[in-house]
Amino acid sequence: MIEAAPATASDLLAALHARAFPKPWSATEIAKLMENQAVFALVHGNGAEAQGFVMGWTAAGDSEVLTVAVVPEARRKGFGAALVTAAGVAALVRGAKSIHLEVAEDNIAARALYAKLGYEEAGRRHAYYAGEGGSIDAIVMRRDLPRPTV
């Protein structure tokens, strides 16, 4: 089950982020982000059962996925797709017309997932990520959000 993460969930989200990434965000960094009313976080599961989360923001008709973190043992089971889809719904409810994200050029699995979910390459940020063998470009991907019809 995916549900909104309360502002008090920064420790849980930081723990999930640390399991998902080699350079994780701290609980303090996550708590600071969540102080902003434009930011939202959605978590899949709760407590010890949590498998991952997505964090984003929405403002002025646009939205951005800031991070998607899925713990290693839960990958390739649909949790990432569910979280990214839920972020799109959350953005739409908050008035966004589009949503974008950035992903490391060499993260082929994530790029394929985002493309499957309707995201298209919209730009590139040269040498955006620091990698072990040097810097890596960020691929900016975006998609329009469906507008409800009456």
- When the pLDDT of each residue in the chain is averaged and rounded to a whole number, the result is 93
Number of domains the chain is built from: 1
Residues β-bridged to residue 100: 64, 142
150 or 58, greater pLDDT: 58
Mean pLDDT of 117-133: 91
Residue 50 has pLDDT above 80, yes or no: yes
pLDDT of 126 > 80? The answer is yes
Tell me if 149 is assigned to some domain.
no
Residue 17 lies in a domain: yes
- Cα separation, 49 vs 105, whole angstroms: 31
Q: For the full predicted model, state whether its pTM sits above 0.85.
A: yes
Predicted confidence (pLDDT) per residue in 60-91, tens digit: 999 999 999 999 998 989 999 999 999 999 99
pLDDT over 80 (residue 149): no
Amino acid 143: pLDDT: 97
In a domain, 53, yes or no: yes
Largest Cα span, the chain: 52
List the domain range (segments joined by +) for residue 134. 2-144
Q: Decide if 86 is inside a domain.
A: yes
Answer yes or no: is 80 within a domain: yes
What pLDDT, on a 0 to 100 scale, did the predictor assign at position 150?
63
Q: Classify the phi-psi angles of 18: left when phi > 0, otherwise alpha if psi is within -120 to 50, otherwise beta.
A: alpha
- Identity (one letter) of the amino acid at 129? Y
Give the pLDDT band (50/70/90) at residue 9.
very high
| In a domain? residue 150 | no
Q: Is residue 16 part of a domain?
A: yes
Let me know how many helices (H) and strands (E) the chain has, helices first.
4, 7
Q: Please report, for the domain that includes residue 125, its CATH number.
A: 3.40.630.30
